[in-house]
Structure 1
Amino acid sequence: MDGQDSSYNPNLPPSHYTPMIPPLTTDVKYNLYDTNTSENKPFNDVNGMLQQIMSIVDQSLDEAQSRKHAFNQSRLKPAFFQVLCEIKEKTAINIRNFPEDEPPDAQLMRLDNMLLAEGIAGPERLGGSSTSSSAASANAAASINDESALEHGDYRAKLSQIRQLYHSELEKYEQACNDFTSHVINLLHEQSRARPISPREIDRMVAIIRKKFSSIQLQLKQSTCEAVMILRSRFLDARRKRRNFSKTATEVLNEYFYSHLSNPYPSEEAKEELARKCGISVSQVSNWFGNKRIRYKKNIGKAQEEANLYASKLANQAAQGVGSMRRDSDSSHHGER
């Protein structure tokens, strides 16, 4: 018959007439009867679907995106997802047995308390590491002890450097942790379209990630605390060495002070001489006399007793000197005779 398909044979059953069999879908690549699907096996076949999913890791990003789109459009996807739900229900670990919240890390809490006490963590204190507050505290202390004020300002400046470095590194840590956590959350949300993942499981995965990252945070806080302790130790040791004058140096300074009690303000030449005798700096001599004058005015009674003691000591030394001179003079006269 003209215009009739040459493959048509009225003596054969209709099933042998291939064009009369409708495809499962209008898209050729999902058609089970398409024979040109050697590599991209159709997602309408269960075995083909599993094979395509298993091999997606070997594909390029564009190929993987195309294959993922094909999977999402497959009519077998709901059934496939349901099977995964049933398998998970039977075999997965019951997360209800896990505790909701783990107890806080005791070591991390101790480090946090120390950083807070030292002014490293938390809001910046008044008189802390800012330039203006450091200058104000230094000026206030200068009227009492210039060197102590300078030490305080230097200590605060170095503490400010530690604080700035700590917050800079902590910001980097938090950024890295948040970026990685967001990436995992997005990945799990994407995967939840193909396999069953509950919001509670995502929350637990976030907790696991942050637990892993906490070791970095612990190391950062521990090294910062160590830096603060080293800084404090150095300044305290240096201050202790400067404050603890020898007994001889203290006696020399006291003798000068009480012998010049009417005007206990040594000249620059006298300060240099006292510094040389005591083995200390001129600024230390100035600070000692400044503190001594303050203590003398505050406790005049006790200071008067100390003044009498040193006056008596000086008188005895003078008497011994006169006696020695007389003996030397007598012996010289006796020798002349």
Structure 2
Amino acid sequence: MLSKTYMIGATLGEGTGTTMSDDEDELQMDFSLDQSGASDHDLMGFGPLRPTESERSLMERVRQELKIELKQGFKSRIEDVREEILRKRRAGKLPGDTTTVLKNWWQQHSKWPYPTEDDKAKLVEQTGLQLKQINNWFINQRKRNWQTDSQSATSLKSKRKR
């Protein structure tokens, strides 16, 4: 039994960043066909054998399936990246109602903005945040507040010197 291998188109350019579009028919396919009925002219390499209608249909179906698989594969990756971005964007942002509770406590205790363990436990209950989140919010709030206080104090000192 003699067989002949056919190459249809070219490779997709693996690793080169080449993309596949609707117009590109570049797909590597190997067909091993039974050549028992082929003429000596075809077997000697004087002319390429043309794929039959059923072979062309099969090639087109395979190309369409590969295209769909590629699109679906990239679609899920894009969705994963989008979800990761949204997760990162949400990280660090506390809900408005919880920050309102924390800011109210801050204003009531502005002279000494260090909550006791009991205060923290009450804030955890009221806000639904974790103790670590409460602690971090107060650390960050003191930094923010002290920066604005020190900047205003520095500007007052510079005005007095003039």
Superposition TM-score, scaled by structure 2 size: 0.49
More strand by share: 2
Q: Which has the larger radius of gyration?
A: 1
TM-score, normalisation: structure 1? 0.27
Structure with the higher helix share, 1 or 2: 1
